[in-house]
Amino acid sequence: AEREGIEGVFEDFRPYYDEATRRSRALGMYRQNYCGCRISDEEATAERAEHKAQRAAAKQAERAEHAAEIAVAEAELKKHRAERAAYDKKQARKRAILKSLREQAKQKASE
């Protein structure tokens, strides 16, 4: 840059960010969530991780708030499954008995 007589521009354009964002959105332009430099990418990654942690904490708080309701629902589901398993076992036993009776009837008929 020195050899070619080029001077770098070191200016902070962040004060204009909000206006640039508004204009680009109004024009329907693509906007990436960081400027493209490695530092900005790392900041964006950290910000996304922070937002993810906040959402997880909010979800956990919501779950803790409704823990009693969830426990009741899970208990009802467990009870329903146990009742269903008992019913299925009873029906299987009935089918086995009926099958045995049909086989006995066949044997008697063939004799």
Residue holding tokens 């063939």?
110
Contact 84, 92 (CB under 8 A): no
Q: Where are the domains of the chain?
A: 68-111
b/e 81-91 (16+ beta carbons within 10 angstroms → b)? eeeeeeeeeee
Q: What is the pLDDT along the chain (111 residues), one digit of tens a residue?
A: 788 888 877 777 788 888 988 988 898 888 877 777 888 888 888 999 999 999 999 999 998 999 999 999 999 999 999 999 999 999 999 999 999 999 999 999 987
Q: What is the pTM of this model?
A: 0.41
**33: Cβ contacts below 8 Å, ≥ 6 apart:** 44
What's the burial of 10, exposed, middle or buried (CB within 10 Å: 0-12/13-18/19+)? exposed
